[in-house]
Amino acid sequence: MSAVTVAEPRTVSSVAVASSSRWWRDVTAAFAWAVVLFVVALWVAGGGLSAFGSAGDGLTNVGRLAGLLASALMLLQLLLMARIPIVEQAWGQDELARVHRLVGFTSFTLMLAHIGLVIVGYSVGTGAGVVGTFLDEVAHSPGMLLALAGALALVMVVVTSIKRARRRLRYESWHLLHLYAYLGAGLALPHQLWSGQDFRASTASTVFWWGLYVAPLVSVLTFRVVVPLARSLRHRLVVDHVVAESPTVTSVVLTGRNLHRMPVRAGQFFQWRFLDGPGWTRANPYSLSAAPDGRSLRLTVENVGGSSGRLAGLRPGTRVLVEGPYGRLHAGVRTREKSVLIGAGIGITPLRSLLEELPPGPDATVVIYRIGRRDDLVLSEELVSLAATKGARVTAVVGHRQSARDSWLPVEASHVDDAEALTRIVPDIAERDVYVCGALAWMDAVIAAARRAGVAQESIHHERFGY
């Protein structure tokens, strides 16, 4: 395969934790299903199965159940957004994002069904019609105007979460709009408390619903506000110096206090806020490009516009706020003795960091580095040095991407099957952990190829920074 060159470790010319996490993942999944089932049980206990005396009553009753489930799922979704450490490490950002999206769209659909069914049910047998009934409810029912505002906020969140819409938005803009999910949930609360009979049907119901609202509120405030602020104040991170790795790639080195006590591992990422002027409130996810050494942290970022373009101009001494660390792209999730690190472009940076932490050994780690041109190499000298120290083998896959098919290989290797290419480079890949980082579509192609090559699903670890 002419597009691939394999270098020896010292002559690179081109460059148990898992079982615990699975246990916590099962616990959190069981908790979510228990919440949903308990909501249905409360609806049944409140006469849900018997309130079908007329067409209007039946529609209203089903709409009531849809509203209860929508509320429960929305609150569970807020818990997913709270970044509770044990949940985040059990699921990983990728899987949490997928579940968050599924739960979000499901709760939104149920919310629309709730509104439609209840309004139509109320309108049956009246002369006001659907529109008149809707306007009357909004104008006169307690909390309905706030609930309408909350529903509109959630509509905006959902619309901007559709993939086609997300591609047109900068990350910072999308992230700001996404915060309206909190507003939507908050505005719906008064309506449910004032007019929702299910909230006041029994002591158990009242305790359950209040608890379900308080848990996300406390979790979000704790893990999205209090813990990040406390960690930032404790470690007092500041920019030490900035390095131009290339015309488009910048490394930022940070120092602070007691960094040896910061619970971060090589390969993880933080949400960073640099207090250098306008725009500091917008956080961006950047991985560590060097393993933490207790004295400094380093991130390496490609300038793609927006906040990433500001990093090259950061001044030494600039204060930094962080959220995290996040992600499962670290050695603690290993299931095998040997590993394969597969990165594309700037995606090599967390893998370069991870390589520092992985145990050394002849061919214990194989690094596959996908680049369009040799000029696109990032931190290549460091990768050479690390490969020599660790006894790692590095393979550079060079060439422009294919357009005829979804593939992780360059066009020059279009005659080779994706899975076959992996087994040619790493014949025993099925017996290794595979870490992947790069563009979203490219990672999907790598993961699919790895699965066809025999790699177990639990041995594939990846981090997505798309939104």
Q: State the CATH number of the domain containing residue 242.
A: 2.40.30.10
Q: Output the pLDDT for position 85.
A: 86
Residues 109 and 193 in one domain: yes
Tens of pLDDT along 369-408? 998 888 788 888 898 889 989 999 998 898 888 777 889 9
**Main-chain phi, psi angles of 335, to 5 degrees:** -115, -10
Closest CA to 14 of 22, 24, 2: 2
Cα 131 to its chain centre, rounded Å, is 40
In a domain, 118, yes or no: yes
Q: Which residue has the higher pLDDT, 166 or 461?
A: 461
For range 126-133, the mean pLDDT: 77
Same domain, 184 and 108: yes
144 and 219 co-located in one domain: yes
Q: Do residue 152 and residue 93 come from a single domain? A: yes
Quote the tokens at residue 214.
């308080």
Q: Are residues 109 and 212 in the same domain?
A: yes
Q: 31 in a domain, yes or no?
A: no
φ/ψ region of 253 (left if φ > 0, alpha if ψ in -120 to 50, else beta) reads: beta
Q: CATH number for the domain including 410?
A: 3.40.50.80
Q: Would you state the structure tokens that stand for residue 317, as one six-digit string?
A: 């001494």
220 and 244 together in one domain = no
Total domains in the fold of the chain: 3
Torsion of CA 254, 258, 259, 264, to 10 degrees: -140
Going through 236-319 in order, the beta strands assigned E by DSSP cover 238-246, 249-255, 269-274, 284-287, 296-302
Report the distance separating Cα 19 and Cα 137, nearest Å.
Answer: 51
* 195 and 298 fall within a common domain: no
Instruction: Give the per-residue pLDDT at 182.
Output: 67
| Core vs surface per residue 307-333: b (16+ CB within 10 A) or e | bbebbbebeeebebbbbbbbbbbbbbb
User: Is 171 domain-assigned?
Assistant: yes
Mean local confidence (pLDDT), 84-100: 81
Q: Say if residue 83 is in the same domain as residue 138.
A: yes
CB 122 within 8 A of CB 138: no
Write down the mean pLDDT value for the chain. Answer: 83
Question: Does residue 36 sit within a domain?
Answer: no
Out of 326, 342, 368, pick the residue that ends a domain. Answer: 326
In a shared domain, residues 355 and 313 = no
User: Over the stretch 415-461, which tens digit does the pLDDT of each residue have?
Assistant: 889 999 999 999 999 999 999 999 888 999 999 999 999 999 889 99
Instruction: Judge whether 26 lies within some domain.
Output: no
With 60 as the cut, is the pLDDT of residue 20 above it? Answer: no
Does 301 fall in a domain?
yes
* CA-atom Rg of the chain in angstroms: 26
Confidence of residue 172 (pLDDT cuts 50, 70, 90): low
Q: Is residue 35 part of a domain?
A: no
Give the alpha-carbon dihedral of 207, 75, 269, 376, to 10 degrees: 170
Residue 265 and residue 190 share a domain: no
Domain edge (last residue) among 276, 309, 326 = 326
Same domain, 353 and 315: no
Q: What is the pLDDT of residues 304-336, one digit of tens each?
A: 776 777 888 899 999 999 998 998 889 888 889
pLDDT in tens, 203-216: 888 889 889 889 98
Of the candidates 341, 336, 338, 364, the residue with the CA atom closest to the CA atom of residue 352: 341
Q: Are residue 84 and residue 213 in the same domain, yes or no? A: yes
Mean of pLDDT values over 4-15: 33
- Highest mean pLDDT range out of 22-26, 126-130, 417-421? 417-421
Q: What string of DSSP letters covers 122-161? A: HHTTSSSHHHHHHHHHHHHSTTHHHHHHHHHHHHHHHHHH
8 A C-beta contact, residue 254 and residue 345: no
Residue 149 in any domain: the answer is yes
Task: Using the predicted structure, report yes or no on whether residue 4 has a pLDDT greater than 90.
Answer: no
Alpha-carbon 164 to chain mean position: 18
Domain hosting residue 368, numbered range? 4-16+333-462
23 versus 107: the higher-pLDDT residue is: 107
Domain edge (last residue) among 193, 227, 261: 227
